[in-house]
Amino acid sequence: MSIRTDLAVEAKEVYEKENSRKIQGVEVSNSNKGKIKITNVKVVTEEGAKAMGKPKGTYITIDMPRLIHYDIDAMDDVSEVLGEELSKLVNLEDSMTALVVGLGNWNITPDALGPKVVSKIMITRHLKELVPDSIDERIRPVCALAPGVLGITGMETSEIIKGVVDKIKPNLIICIDALASRKMERVNSTIQIGTTGISPGSGVGNRRMEISERTLGIPVIAVGVPTVVDAATMANDTIDMVIDQMINSAKQGGDFYNMLKTMDKNDKQSMIKEILDPYVGNLMVTPKEVDMVIDSISKIIANGINISLQPALGREDIDRFLQ
């Protein structure tokens, strides 16, 4: 049973735990800005990409403080950090156009992050074209799209985006999507920025056509937050903790101790999936307060994107524009 995660930092942790060694071809650096931890994972070789299961590129993980959704100041701090990290990747002149794409199904709360972010983006492309004399020349043209999902539109998301890109010819795409994590503590508390594009639905086993520079011909920055975790993974981790506790409590050298030590974890994972499938199928789990959490995270991400795409404006100017 493969461990489902969209997070590069988790893929690295899983590999190193299973192989008891560092991944070759992967560079990792850590930094902190106040209570916010930033982890930069760079996959620089094909060997590293194969081990990680991720394309070569940069993956920046921002760990948000606990209880951030109840603290407006903390939300603003994360938005500022996100804006700073995105600004390092946004290589645009003031006249160049950015397209923001909100992936996901707006009818399903854990998957509605992308469309909710798009609703809070500072949209300016039409103003730059229709009333250029009435808008600050420093403002960059930005447009946005929430294309929905295949089950609603009958079209692949990448097909819709490709059609828009061919028509308006943006210079950069920023995609926002809900991700899947393998650890409950990272759900709704981690933001990942990637330079390699995205495959919508891959975290929940529903991989769609890739959205990347390779398929669209322009740079694609992916911003995602894990909003769900696989139930089988949760069960597996819980059983591992129980087994470890039982090993620590069992008499060393005894039959029960030896049985626990020799238990094959791969067999255990397969058994968990076989047991769960008839009852719950492909079950993904999300916290009960997901409605409130998605609203606050969408504000954090939208503010961060607005800061990165409109460097000439301050937060007050951006907020005034959106009112």
Mind listing the domains of the chain with CATH numbers?
8-230+288-322 (3.40.50.1450), 234-280 (no CATH)
Beta bridge partners of 33: 36
**Average pLDDT, rounded, for the chain:** 87
Render pLDDT for 138-152 as a digit per residue (tens, 0 to 9).
899 999 999 998 889
- Report the predicted TM-score, pTM, of the whole model to 2 decimal places: 0.85
* pLDDT recorded at residue 207: 57
pLDDT band at 1 (very low <50, low <70, confident <90, very high): very low
The confidence band for 20, taking pLDDT boundaries of 50, 70 and 90, is: confident
What pLDDT score was predicted for residue 261?
65
Closest CA to 102 of 147, 63, 137, 62: 147
Burial (CB count within 10 angstroms: exposed 0-12, middle 13-18, buried 19+), residue 30:
exposed
By percentage, how much of the chain surpasses pLDDT 70?
A: 87
Residue 232 vs residue 66, higher pLDDT: 66
pLDDT at 195 over 90: yes
What confidence category does residue 182 fall into, taking pLDDT thresholds of 50, 70 and 90? confident
Task: Tell me what the mean pLDDT of segment 178-193 comes to.
Answer: 91
Q: Which residues pair with 155 in a beta bridge?
A: none
Give the angle subtended at the CA of 73 by the CAs of 30 and 68, to the nearest 5°. 65
Which amino acid does the sequence have at 26?
V
What whole-number distance in Å separates Cα of residue 61 and Cα of residue 10? 10
| pLDDT over threshold 90, residue 81 | yes
How many distinct helices (H) and strands (E) make up the chain? 13, 9
Q: What is the pLDDT of residues 83-122, one digit of tens each?
A: 999 999 999 998 899 999 999 999 999 999 999 999 999 9
The tokens for 240 are 């591992």
Q: Which has more pLDDT, 211 or 268?
A: 211
Q: What is the pLDDT of residues 271-312, one digit of tens each?
A: 776 777 666 667 788 888 999 999 999 999 999 999 999 998
- Non-local (6+) Cβ contacts of 17 within 8 A are none
Report residue 17 as tokens: 């735990």
Q: Who's near 38: CB < 8 A, 6+ residues apart?
A: 30, 31, 32, 60, 61, 62, 63, 81, 85
Give residue 284's pLDDT: 81
Q: Which pLDDT score is estimated for 260?
A: 60
Tell me: pLDDT of 250 over 90. Answer: no
